[in-house]
């Protein structure tokens, strides 16, 4: 918060100011909007200002961030398809071998059987690209598209009554302030139905709106800017790969005048209000092997024309309806009341004694994760990348790509349980499409059938590896396939299972059947080479590899059985009979990370890969395997609570699955205190969006779990959340649930199954008995055994359990 601004304008936002000036007497402060981030100053116009303070909007395909400058506004924007690298670079090879290396894999395996573990770099040297190849140029990176820059002549640098906000429940960002006695308001939203970003600028005095609009793009491309009919068009090609891009910004004024300038800018003077409509396009297409489609001009022009013809009111109404239909499905009320303080102050004060404010921040953070998924992942677009859809740089950290050894997976952890299942479609389609290039990689690198991808990918079907030790992670496809099957477990969408999840599972398993080797030490099937992500030597049968493969073949057997494919089910069962499941308790009581008992108790690496079996996996739980769960706790404690943003988020999920709500909450608090930026983006550091999604997932896991076949209610409720309500959560088996609790005990459940069948609910409170009624309050027959309540449910009926 900017104290200088505050002093000058204390009367303008009394409620907000009083709550944060400690020496004023306490007064009743008006409560803030529960799901709004707001600030009393603009984001600084720098890369760091962008990262820590700008406010994101997005429609899945496009994103923008609002800086909120008074005299000069900046709207940085993105389009998920604008990437360097790929087939447009002459020597792009999808990460595959530059030349075949027959026998390379056999040589590596020989050494591992002899030596136990070998340097991970040796594996990549044998299998990967030559170390002198310019891999970044070929792999490419996600690009900033550019900035809409608005300059307002006559407006001061700073103004009174300043507020910049992002109302996540409405999906609208806004800036308002008073200058020269005139109230200025600016609204911004990204419309999924219209495929454009929309802004409206207005004042409370007629004729008060005047500005010049231009589009600025980074230097790594050719660019021409023209203005005609109030439309700014900037187009050209990326220098690296020739990708064609185009942005169009239509400026519409109400009153006043509008001028197209020869330098490709548009000026509005003396207008009552103005509406801006921004569209983007590239000639990218998600099709192997060229990944090149048509020039974007015609499609983009049609889209921006349509947006302009609709007008602001209709665009906003359609956007609100679309956004609320997703956002409003799930809610979390922990009893927090949002105090009227800016969000950066709320975050800074977290944990300092105001429990109600802390709960309010947690509720906001929870819903912000859902908001960010709605904004960065819509059907028909590419999946959310390391930064969702937002990137300001030409060379962003880790290319802002798709890391497949946890990060992309984590992005989608909250999708199902928080009732946003259709937003995972981009992930499903992306994985499905990776199979085609992945087949070539499987054949070339491993002489195997099926498909494979490694540790990171781009939008151009990169499935091979880099010569970096982290890159050896052929398990990524198997992990992702499990996520597709989990979509089925949540939705029971059989056409999806048949069409997408099952073919992906089958083809992934095909690769692994070829890749798995018999371990001469015990005759089990193991992955070799195999490594715990980003840690240690290349070995045989590292726990995470084996655990991922256990899930792959278990899911495949289940799916095949469901679809009546007996042959495939039997083949999967045969592998499972011999597969090392990757679960061992070692000499210091830990769950082993490696097949050999070599774990170092001092290792605090951020990846806790061997706990895949706890989350997102389902092999280890205090409910089913108490000894292994204890060992998992030993391992997790040894790793400590420290870690990058996403690592802390994963640990929330782990502790929730280990049924320790207080520890899960402690990790959430750690994440908020040490890994969250002022705009509530997760920071690795730097900004990386997976931690936002992982935290929302972890908070949900604290309240509801369904991975073991029984719907576990409030399995890890922390002491800090003695009462609350969660609505619209989803459980596997296609159930929607509302939960209410008080004094730390479940008080009411509402459950609506999509399909008929037996429902099994678990809660300690059931030990004291329960009442089940249907929608018309008629008692429903049920059984209680210990803490499990069972009844048969009809599709679409709503049951209330008290
Ligand atoms: C994995 C992690 C890093 C980072 C990167 C994008 O490699 O180990 O911490 O999150 O992905």
In this model, does residue 27 exceed pLDDT 50? no
What was the pLDDT predicted at 470?
78
Q: Determine whether the shortest distance from the Cβ of 407 to ligand 1 is under 6 A.
A: yes
Phi-psi region of 107 (alpha: psi -120 to 50; beta: other; left: phi over 0): alpha
Pocket test for ligand 1, best of 387, 391, 403 (most atoms within 8 A of CB): 403
Q: Which atom of ligand 1 is nearest to the CA of 647?
A: 9
* CA atoms of 286 and 430, how far apart (whole Å): 9
What was the pLDDT predicted at 467?
73
Min mean pLDDT across 250-259, 315-324, 459-468, 734-743 is at: 459-468
- What number is the average pLDDT over the span 163-179? 97
Is omega for the bond preceding 302 within 30 degrees of 0, making it cis? no
In this model, does residue 10 exceed pLDDT 70? no
Q: Determine whether the shortest distance from the Cβ of 408 to ligand 1 is under 6 A.
A: no
Q: What is the DSSP string of 640-665?
A: -S---HHHHHHHHHHHHHTT-HHHHH
Cα→Cα distances 426→62, 300, 398, 470, 692, Å: 14, 21, 21, 25, 18
Q: Determine whether the shortest distance from the Cβ of 648 to ligand 1 is under 6 A.
A: no
Q: What is this structure's pTM?
A: 0.95
Q: How far is CA 243 from the centre of its chain?
A: 26
CA of 682 to the centre of ligand 1 (A): 13
In this model, does residue 6 exceed pLDDT 70? no
Q: Determine whether the shortest distance from the Cβ of 454 to ligand 1 is under 6 A.
A: no
In this model, does residue 398 exceed pLDDT 50? yes
* CA atoms of 429 and 382, how far apart (whole Å): 8
Q: How many helices (H) and strands (E) does the chain have?
A: 22, 33
Cα→Cα distances 735→485, 563, 709, 766, Å: 17, 21, 12, 19
In this model, does residue 1 exceed pLDDT 90? no
- Tokens, residue 659: 């049924």
* CA atoms of 358 and 350, how far apart (whole Å): 6
Pocket test for ligand 1, best of 411, 534, 649 (most atoms within 8 A of CB): 534
CA of 652 to the centre of ligand 1 (A): 18
What was the pLDDT predicted at 124?
83
Nearest CA to ligand 1 atom 6: 398
What was the pLDDT predicted at 133?
54
What was the pLDDT predicted at 3?
39
CA of 470 to the centre of ligand 1 (A): 9
Q: What is the pLDDT of residues 452-472, one digit of tens each?
A: 999 999 999 999 987 777 788
Q: Determine whether the shortest distance from the Cβ of 386 to ligand 1 is under 6 A.
A: yes
CB contact at 8 A, 146 and 218 = yes
Tell me the three state secondary structure of residue 42: coil
CA of 646 to the centre of ligand 1 (A): 9
Q: Determine whether the shortest distance from the Cβ of 534 to ligand 1 is under 6 A.
A: yes
Q: What is the pLDDT of residues 348-370, one digit of tens each?
A: 999 999 999 999 999 999 999 99
- What number is the average pLDDT over the span 38-58? 98
CA of 686 to the centre of ligand 1 (A): 11
What was the pLDDT predicted at 21?
30
What was the pLDDT predicted at 16?
32
Is omega for the bond preceding 685 within 30 degrees of 0, making it cis? yes
* CA atoms of 361 and 482, how far apart (whole Å): 32
CB contact at 8 A, 560 and 566 = yes
CB atoms within 10 A of CB 110: 11
In this model, does residue 435 exceed pLDDT 90? yes
What was the pLDDT predicted at 4?
37
Phi-psi region of 364 (alpha: psi -120 to 50; beta: other; left: phi over 0): alpha
Q: What is the DSSP string of 159-207?
A: -EEEEEEEETTTTEEEEEEEETTEEEEEEEEEETTTTEEEEEEEESSTT
CA of 690 to the centre of ligand 1 (A): 10
Q: Which residues contact 756 (CB under 8 A, 6 or more apart)?
A: 792, 793, 794, 795
CA of 644 to the centre of ligand 1 (A): 9
Q: Which atom of ligand 1 is nearest to the CA of 455?
A: 7
Q: Which atom of ligand 1 is nearest to the CA of 407?
A: 11
What was the pLDDT predicted at 17?
30
Tell me the three state secondary structure of residue 789: strand
Look over the chain and give the mean of its residue pLDDT values, rounded to a whole number.
94
CA of 95 to the centre of ligand 1 (A): 19
In this model, does residue 22 exceed pLDDT 50? no
CA of 647 to the centre of ligand 1 (A): 9
What was the pLDDT predicted at 469?
78
What was the pLDDT predicted at 103?
83
CB contact at 8 A, 82 and 452 = no
CB atoms within 10 A of CB 189: 27
Q: Determine whether the shortest distance from the Cβ of 470 to ligand 1 is under 6 A.
A: yes
Q: Determine whether the shortest distance from the Cβ of 404 to ligand 1 is under 6 A.
A: no
Handedness of CA 418, 423, 424, 425 (dihedral sign): positive
- What number is the average pLDDT over the span 103-122? 93
- Tokens, residue 6: 């505050």
Local confidence band at 12 (pLDDT 50, 70, 90 cut-offs): very low
- What number is the average pLDDT over the span 394-402? 97
Q: Determine whether the shortest distance from the Cβ of 409 to ligand 1 is under 6 A.
A: no
* CA atoms of 706 and 733, how far apart (whole Å): 9
What was the pLDDT predicted at 8?
30
In this model, does residue 19 exceed pLDDT 80? no
- What number is the average pLDDT over the span 528-546? 96
- Tokens, residue 67: 């800086």
Q: What is the pLDDT of residues 578-613, one digit of tens each?
A: 999 999 999 999 999 999 999 999 999 999 999 999
CA of 161 to the centre of ligand 1 (A): 41
Q: Determine whether the shortest distance from the Cβ of 684 to ligand 1 is under 6 A.
A: yes
Q: What is the pLDDT of residues 604-639, one digit of tens each?
A: 999 999 999 999 999 999 999 999 999 999 999 999
Tell me the three state secondary structure of residue 428: helix
- What number is the average pLDDT over the span 741-767? 97
* CA atoms of 99 and 106, how far apart (whole Å): 17
- What number is the average pLDDT over the span 63-69? 98
CB contact at 8 A, 158 and 180 = no
pLDDT over 90 percentage in the chain: 90
Q: Which residues contact 102 (CB under 8 A, 6 or more apart)?
A: none
Q: How far is CA 73 from the centre of its chain?
A: 28
- What number is the average pLDDT over the span 107-116? 96
Q: Determine whether the shortest distance from the Cβ of 149 to ligand 1 is under 6 A.
A: no
User: What is residue 697's DSSP assignment?
Assistant: H
Query: Of 189, 190, 173, whose CA–CA distance to 55 is shortest?
Result: 173
Q: Determine whether the shortest distance from the Cβ of 701 to ligand 1 is under 6 A.
A: no
- What number is the average pLDDT over the span 740-761? 98
Q: Determine whether the shortest distance from the Cβ of 444 to ligand 1 is under 6 A.
A: no
Nearest CA to ligand 1 atom 11: 403
In this model, does residue 152 exceed pLDDT 80? yes
Q: What is the DSSP string of 367-389?
A: HHHHHHHHHH--TTSPPPBTTBT
Local confidence band at 15 (pLDDT 50, 70, 90 cut-offs): very low
Q: Which atom of ligand 1 is nearest to the CA of 401?
A: 6
Q: What is the pLDDT of residues 254-285, one digit of tens each?
A: 999 999 999 999 999 999 999 999 999 999 99
What was the pLDDT predicted at 714?
98
Q: Which residues contact 544 (CB under 8 A, 6 or more apart)?
A: 475, 532, 533, 582, 593, 609, 610, 612
- Tokens, residue 199: 């802004």
Q: Determine whether the shortest distance from the Cβ of 398 to ligand 1 is under 6 A.
A: yes
CA of 75 to the centre of ligand 1 (A): 28
Q: Which residues contact 456 (CB under 8 A, 6 or more apart)?
A: 139, 398, 399, 401, 402, 403, 404, 405, 462, 466, 471
């Amino acid at each position: 918060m900017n104290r200088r601004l505050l002093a000058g304008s204390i009367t303008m936002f009394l409620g907000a100011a009083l709550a944060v000036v400690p020496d004023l007497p306490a007064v009743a402060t008006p409560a803030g909007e529960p799901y709004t981030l707001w600030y009393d100053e603009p984001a600084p116009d720098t890369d760091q200002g962008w990262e820590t303070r700008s406010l994101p909007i997005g429609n899945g395909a496009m994103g923008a961030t609002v800086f909120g400058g008074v005299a000069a506004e900046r709207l940085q924007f993105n389009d998920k398809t604008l990437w360097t690298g790929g087939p447009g670079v002459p020597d792009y090879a999808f990460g595959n071998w530059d030349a075949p290396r027959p026998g390379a894999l056999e040589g590596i395996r020989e050494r591992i059987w002899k030596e136990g573990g070998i340097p991970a770099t040796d594996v990549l040297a044998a299998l990967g690209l030559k170390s002198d190849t310019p891999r970044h140029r070929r792999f490419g990176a996600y690009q900033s598209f550019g900035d809409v820059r608005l300059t307002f002549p006559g407006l001061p640098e700073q103004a009174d009554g300043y507020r910049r906000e992002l109302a996540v429940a409405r999906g609208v960002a806004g800036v308002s302030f008073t200058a020269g006695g005139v109230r200025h308001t600016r609204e911004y939203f990204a419309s999924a139905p219209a495929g454009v970003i929309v802004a409206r600028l207005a004042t409370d005095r007629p004729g008060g709106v005047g500005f010049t609009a231009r589009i600025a793009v980074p230097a790594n491309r050719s660019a021409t800017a023209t203005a005609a009919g109030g439309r700014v068009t900037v187009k050209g090609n990326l220098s690296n790969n020739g990708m064609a891009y185009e942005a169009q910004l239509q400026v519409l004024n109400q009153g006043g005048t509008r001028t197209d300038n020869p330098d490709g800018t548009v000026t509005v003077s003396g207008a009552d209000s103005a509406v801006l409509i921004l569209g983007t396009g590239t000639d990218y297409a998600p099709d192997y092997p060229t990944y090149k489609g048509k020039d974007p001009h015609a499609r983009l022009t049609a889209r921006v024309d349509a947006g302009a013809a609709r007008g602001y009111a209709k665009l906003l109404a359609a956007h609100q309806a679309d956004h609320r239909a997703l956002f409003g499905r799930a809610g979390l009320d922990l009893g927090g009341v949002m105090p009227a303080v800016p969000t950066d102050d709320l975050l800074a004060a977290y944990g300092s004694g105001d429990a109600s404010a802390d709960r309010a921040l947690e509720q906001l953070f929870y819903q912000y994760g859902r908001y960010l998924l709605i904004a960065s992942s819509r059907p028909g677009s590419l999946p959310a990348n390391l930064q969702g859809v937002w990137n300001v740089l030409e060379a962003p950290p880790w290319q802002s790509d798709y890391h497949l050894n946890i990060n992309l997976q984590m992005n989608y952890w909250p999708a199902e349980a928080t009732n946003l299942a259709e937003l995972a479609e981009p992930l499903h389609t992306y994985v499905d499409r990776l199979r085609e290039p992945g087949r070539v990689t499987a054949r070339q690198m491993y002489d195997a059938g099926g498909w494979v991808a490694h540790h990171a990918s781009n939008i151009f079907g990169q499935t091979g590896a880099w010569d970096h030790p982290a890159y050896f992670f052929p398990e990524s496809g198997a992990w992702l396939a499990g996520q597709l099957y989990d979509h089925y477990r949540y939705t029971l969408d059989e056409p999806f299972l048949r069409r997408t999840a099952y073919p992906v599972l089958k083809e992934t398993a095909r690769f692994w059947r070829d890749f798995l080797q018999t371990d001469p030490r015990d005759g089990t099937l193991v992955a070799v080479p195999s490594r715990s992500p980003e840690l240690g030597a290349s070995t045989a049968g590292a726990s995470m590899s084996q655990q991922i493969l256990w899930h792959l073949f278990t899911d495949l057997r289940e799916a095949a059985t469901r679809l009546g494919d007996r042959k495939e089910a039997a083949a999967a069962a045969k592998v499972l009979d011999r597969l090392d499941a990757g679960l061992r308790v070692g000499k210091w009581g830990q769950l082993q990370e490696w097949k050999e008992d070599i774990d170092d108790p001092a290792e605090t690496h951020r990846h806790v890969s061997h706990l895949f079996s706890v989350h997102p996996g389902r092999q280890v739980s205090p409910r089913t395997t108490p000894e292994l769960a204890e060992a998992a706790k030993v391992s997790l404690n040894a790793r400590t609570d420290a870690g990058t943003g996403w690592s802390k988020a994963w640990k929330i999920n782990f502790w929730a699955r280990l049924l320790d709500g207080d520890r899960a909450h402690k990790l959430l608090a750690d994440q908020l205190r040490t890994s969250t930026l002022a705009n509530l983006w997760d920071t690795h550091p730097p900004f990386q969006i997976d931690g936002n999604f992982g935290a929302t997932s972890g908070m949900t896991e604290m309240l509801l779990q369904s991975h073991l076949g029984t719907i576990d209610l409030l399995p890890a409720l922390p002491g800090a959340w003695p009462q609350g309500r969660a609505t619209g959560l989803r459980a596997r088996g296609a159930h929607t649930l509302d939960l209410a609790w008080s004094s730390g005990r479940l008080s009411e459940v509402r459950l609506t199954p999509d399909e008929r069948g037996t429902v099994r609910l678990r809660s300690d409170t059931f030990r004291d008995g329960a009442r089940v009624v249907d929608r018309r309050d008629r008692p429903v027959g049920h059984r209680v055994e210990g803490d499990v309540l069972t009844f048969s449910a009809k599709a679409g009926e709503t049951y209330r359990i008290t």
